[in-house]
A and B are shown apart, each in its own frame.
Chain A
């Protein structure tokens, strides 16, 4: 029998290749969904086995030993990725246009799973590159400029990682995680690796994982890449693929936590390297949040929102306490499920209306009620409203930030949550409520596979919101220790208790009472949207009564000074400078003048002569 790990890892890729090669409409969708479902099924089957003993697989290829391992932590990440992957496949069954999409979407699925399962840097890097390449190909199909931006930044990240791996290899002589970890643990006491070298390794890894996680200032690829692709795929791109970056930050702790502590020491009782990560996260949360609020395109809004939410995960990991890790790991799950859900809702909206700008939408809740309900669950979860998974995970992060005595970082995440509420309200208002443009009268409910995909992601949002103990229980086992106490329905930390079931019951009773008052309060009648108070003036459908543009204009005006500075423009300018430089090099050196080529020869000979070679 083939090893389960290989089955998990290569089922999507094989399915993708078959779907691409067959390219029969209907069949390729079925194969793709089966391929995407296999990892989830196998992972679910292995749940109890993994907790007892890690499952290993290793193979020697071209002199490198590739080690893959399914341990509690990689199981957690892999199961999240495969959950989103399955939802993506169901969504793609209606939104994908050709087999090309299936090949690369499922290839990146394999890449992400591989990153989580790898236990050495060779396979980690190989699968990281596979993931990057496949997601780049998904974007390339739609928009060349955005895909190249993503690709160049990813390549910078990947090769920063390669240099860091090379440095680690030079210092420790090992490529597998266990040996590197051991060697750096020993080195923390001996100190053969200098602080400067460690700073360089740390910085390079920060760039590598920061690019994938989209932390400011390396986030510029995300808005373009997340928008310019199949939106069902973006559910995976933003829901699972960005977690590879977050996982990388976790890996930094696992591999070199002690050494980094020994090299950099502490600052105000915080680990210095963790402090840097926490502030990267905090800045990402706030900056991306503000940018999300000001977007006029539904895809751009969710792209910045995704950057902002991954910032929470980095921030939680940066707190450096076990509670911080628990909160961050929980947020990995809840971000994956609510952001995946958001992107599937977006896919449904774009599929059914063909529009992406807020100014073209409105009043769709009547036309797509189920999609609206799913979008509402995602909104509640993202804004952190109980009883959803988003509340439980954010609550843990708050608790951790307060316990870590980081008031400014905690303030940044509170601010970030407020902004998050502002932009989801923008989404609710502009897409679902208000007056419906006349060209959206024929919009229909999203097709069934997409709805099933949404339901797959909506159910965990509610289940893990009402019973957050299911997740924290696993995280406790994973991190080894009673980090978050309580039972299935209650979370208990040192400073607080959150009883999700009680909150749910109280909320339900409250809603029931409010419902009774509403039902018996008055005979409600349905009025047309134009029967609204325009200061007593008569209005008709020809008037646009909803604010569809510049919804947060006062905020934009208040931020005017800060918005003058843009990382996006900075990178664009840097790129054009590099291009100009390359042009000038070509023009000045390859100038077609034979005499200048002989001069180059003369100069080289002169140098050699001065060196004493000749």
Chain B
């Protein structure tokens, strides 16, 4: 992979290229979701996991740790303050990782299209693999989105994590335009005065 982004894991196992289809099959069959609920969609998550719709039958599991997860559900509008946390969490997930944008807000701002405080186009900041329109989308729609990401994983089309690595400058530029350079350190240090 390119030298400029050696911050990120180069995931492809050259030694095991032959087994790539097996790995893809395994990946799509056990998608673990990092439990990061944003916006109103957070309340739409539990019905998915519980008895009625039960996406655990697809091998999906909500998980509190980004290091163990590979699917990131953005479940609603994203404010710049949340986006910082989303970016940090996303970068902490090991490759390969996938994002499903859930609801209208991550796609185009939804009803908050004229808000000063909602990120209108999430894809400018982190790469989205599958977007599900609706406000809120029915669980059936979300499951459809899940089927779609599974299909994409199997065919290798779900390559958001590659796009993020390869186009990191562009994403970084967009993030910095929104938050200002050095936002991580600045945001961390803002609490030190209050300790």
Q: Is B66 an interface residue (CB 8 A)?
A: yes
Q: Is B43 an interface residue (CB 8 A)?
A: no
Would you give the shortest CB distance from A537 to chain B, in whole angstroms? 6
Complex CA distance for A520 and B185, rounded to whole angstroms: 34
Q: Which B-chain residue is minimally distant from A521 (CB atoms)?
A: B13
Do the beta carbons of B188 and A537 come within 8 Å of each other? yes
Instruction: Assess A533 versus B67: contact at CB under 8 Å? Given A523-B9, A543-B188.
Output: yes
Do the beta carbons of A537 and B11 come within 8 Å of each other? no
Chain A residues whose C-beta falls within 8 Å of the C-beta of B192 in the assembled complex: 542-543
Do the beta carbons of B187 and A538 come within 8 Å of each other? yes
Do the beta carbons of B10 and A538 come within 8 Å of each other? no
Chain A residues whose C-beta falls within 8 Å of the C-beta of B15 in the assembled complex: 520
Q: Is A480 an interface residue (CB 8 A)?
A: no
Q: Is B115 an interface residue (CB 8 A)?
A: no
Complex CA distance for A533 and B94, rounded to whole angstroms: 13
Chain B residues whose C-beta falls within 8 Å of the C-beta of A522 in the assembled complex: 9, 11, 13, 94
Q: Which A-chain residue is minimally distant from B86 (CB atoms)?
A: A536
| Complex interface bits, A534-552 against B, C-beta within 8 A gives 1, otherwise 0 | 0111111011000000000
Chain B residues whose C-beta falls within 8 Å of the C-beta of A536 in the assembled complex: 36, 66, 85-86, 88-89
Q: Is A196 an interface residue (CB 8 A)?
A: no
Q: Is B65 an interface residue (CB 8 A)?
A: yes
Chain B residues whose C-beta falls within 8 Å of the C-beta of A520 in the assembled complex: 13, 15-16
Complex CA distance for A410 and B104, rounded to whole angstroms: 64
Complex CA distance for A581 and B106, rounded to whole angstroms: 81
Q: How many residues on the B side are at the interface (Cβ–Cβ under 8 A)?
A: 26
Complex CA distance for A413 and B13, rounded to whole angstroms: 48
Chain A residues whose C-beta falls within 8 Å of the C-beta of B16 in the assembled complex: 520
Complex CA distance for A522 and B15, rounded to whole angstroms: 11
Do the beta carbons of B189 and A542 come within 8 Å of each other? yes
Do the beta carbons of A539 and B188 come within 8 Å of each other? yes
Would you give the shortest CB distance from B162 to chain A, in whole angstroms? 15
Do the beta carbons of A533 and B185 come within 8 Å of each other? no
Q: Is B151 an interface residue (CB 8 A)?
A: no
Chain A residues whose C-beta falls within 8 Å of the C-beta of B84 in the assembled complex: 538
Q: Is A525 an interface residue (CB 8 A)?
A: yes
Q: Which A-chain residue is minimally distant from B85 (CB atoms)?
A: A536
Chain A residues whose C-beta falls within 8 Å of the C-beta of B188 in the assembled complex: 537-540, 542-543
Do the beta carbons of A533 and B89 come within 8 Å of each other? yes
Chain A residues whose C-beta falls within 8 Å of the C-beta of B13 in the assembled complex: 520, 522
Would you give the shortest CB distance from A509 to chain B, in whole angstroms? 22
Q: Is B40 an interface residue (CB 8 A)?
A: no
Do the beta carbons of A540 and B189 come within 8 Å of each other? yes
Q: Is B184 an interface residue (CB 8 A)?
A: yes
Do the beta carbons of A525 and B9 come within 8 Å of each other? yes
Complex CA distance for A296 and B188, rounded to whole angstroms: 29
Complex CA distance for A543 and B7, rounded to whole angstroms: 23
Q: Which A-chain residue is minimally distant from B65 (CB atoms)?
A: A533
Would you give the shortest CB distance from B88 to chain A, in whole angstroms? 5
CB contact list, B93-127 vs A, under 8 A? 94
| Complex interface bits, A141-152 against B, C-beta within 8 A gives 1, otherwise 0 | 000000000000
Q: Which B-chain residue is minimally distant from A524 (CB atoms)?
A: B9
Complex CA distance for A538 and B86, rounded to whole angstroms: 11
Q: Is A531 an interface residue (CB 8 A)?
A: yes
Q: Is B92 an interface residue (CB 8 A)?
A: yes
Chain B residues whose C-beta falls within 8 Å of the C-beta of A543 in the assembled complex: 188, 192
Would you give the shortest CB distance from A346 to chain B, in whole angstroms? 32
Do the beta carbons of B92 and A537 come within 8 Å of each other? no
Do the beta carbons of A533 and B92 come within 8 Å of each other? yes
Instruction: Assess A538 versus B89: contact at CB under 8 Å? Given A520-B15, A533-B66, A533-B67.
Output: no
Complex CA distance for A344 and B164, rounded to whole angstroms: 50
Complex CA distance for A536 and B65, rounded to whole angstroms: 10
Q: Which of A525, A535, A540 contacts B185 (CB 8 A)?
A: A540
Chain B residues whose C-beta falls within 8 Å of the C-beta of A537 in the assembled complex: 85, 88, 187-188
Q: Which A-chain residue is minimally distant from B90 (CB atoms)?
A: A536
Chain B residues whose C-beta falls within 8 Å of the C-beta of A539 in the assembled complex: 188
Would you give the shortest CB distance from B81 to chain A, in whole angstroms? 11
Q: Which A-chain residue is minimally distant from B185 (CB atoms)?
A: A540
Complex CA distance for A523 and B95, rounded to whole angstroms: 10
Complex CA distance for A533 and B10, rounded to whole angstroms: 21
| Complex interface bits, B1-30 against A, C-beta within 8 A gives 1, otherwise 0 | 000000111110101100000000000000
Complex CA distance for A531 and B184, rounded to whole angstroms: 11
Would you give the shortest CB distance from B71 to chain A, in whole angstroms? 16
Would you give the shortest CB distance from B22 to chain A, in whole angstroms? 14
Chain B residues whose C-beta falls within 8 Å of the C-beta of A525 in the assembled complex: 7-9
Chain A residues whose C-beta falls within 8 Å of the C-beta of B9 in the assembled complex: 522-523, 525
Would you give the shortest CB distance from B78 to chain A, in whole angstroms? 12
Complex CA distance for A523 and B16, rounded to whole angstroms: 13
Q: Which B-chain residue is minimally distant from A520 (CB atoms)?
A: B15
Chain B residues whose C-beta falls within 8 Å of the C-beta of A540 in the assembled complex: 185, 188-189
Chain B residues whose C-beta falls within 8 Å of the C-beta of A523 in the assembled complex: 9-11
Complex CA distance for A535 and B192, rounded to whole angstroms: 17
Chain A residues whose C-beta falls within 8 Å of the C-beta of B187 in the assembled complex: 537-538
Q: Which A-chain residue is minimally distant from B82 (CB atoms)?
A: A536
Would you give the shortest CB distance from B182 to chain A, in whole angstroms? 10
CB contact list, B135-180 vs A, under 8 A? none
Complex CA distance for A522 and B192, rounded to whole angstroms: 36
Complex CA distance for A539 and B187, rounded to whole angstroms: 8
Would you give the shortest CB distance from B150 to chain A, in whole angstroms? 22
CB contact list, B6-62 vs A, under 8 A? 7-11, 13, 15-16, 36
Complex CA distance for A538 and B192, rounded to whole angstroms: 12
Complex CA distance for A538 and B190, rounded to whole angstroms: 10
Would you give the shortest CB distance from B20 to chain A, in whole angstroms? 14
Q: Which A-chain residue is minimally distant from B15 (CB atoms)?
A: A520
CB contact list, A493-541 vs B, under 8 A? 520, 522-523, 525, 531, 533, 535-540
Q: Which B-chain residue is minimally distant from A543 (CB atoms)?
A: B188
Complex CA distance for A540 and B36, rounded to whole angstroms: 22
Would you give the shortest CB distance from A540 to chain B, in whole angstroms? 5
Q: Which B-chain residue is minimally distant from A530 (CB atoms)?
A: B188
Complex CA distance for A300 and B161, rounded to whole angstroms: 50
Would you give the shortest CB distance from B189 to chain A, in whole angstroms? 6
Would you give the shortest CB distance from B79 to chain A, in whole angstroms? 13
Would you give the shortest CB distance from B80 to chain A, in whole angstroms? 13
Instruction: Assess A531 versus B189: contact at CB under 8 Å? Given A523-B9, A536-B86.
Output: no
Chain A residues whose C-beta falls within 8 Å of the C-beta of B11 in the assembled complex: 522-523
Complex CA distance for A523 and B86, rounded to whole angstroms: 24
Complex CA distance for A533 and B36, rounded to whole angstroms: 12
Q: Which B-chain residue is minimally distant from A536 (CB atoms)?
A: B85
| 10 A-B interface contacts by CB (under 8 A) | A525-B7, A533-B67, A538-B88, A538-B183, A538-B184, A538-B185, A540-B185, A540-B189, A542-B188, A543-B188
Chain A interfacial positions (CB closer than 8 Å to B)? 520, 522-523, 525, 531, 533, 535-540, 542-543
Chain B interfacial positions (CB closer than 8 Å to A)? 7-11, 13, 15-16, 36, 65-67, 84-86, 88-89, 92, 94, 183-185, 187-189, 192
What 10 pairs across the A-B complex have the smallest Cβ distances?
Answer: A536-B85, A538-B188, A538-B184, A536-B89, A540-B188, A538-B187, A536-B88, A539-B188, A523-B10, A523-B9
Q: Can you add 19 more A-B contacts, CB < 8 Å, to A538-B184, A542-B189? A: A520-B15, A520-B16, A522-B11, A522-B13, A522-B94, A523-B10, A523-B11, A525-B8, A531-B92, A533-B67, A533-B89, A536-B36, A536-B85, A536-B86, A537-B187, A537-B188, A538-B188, A539-B188, A543-B192
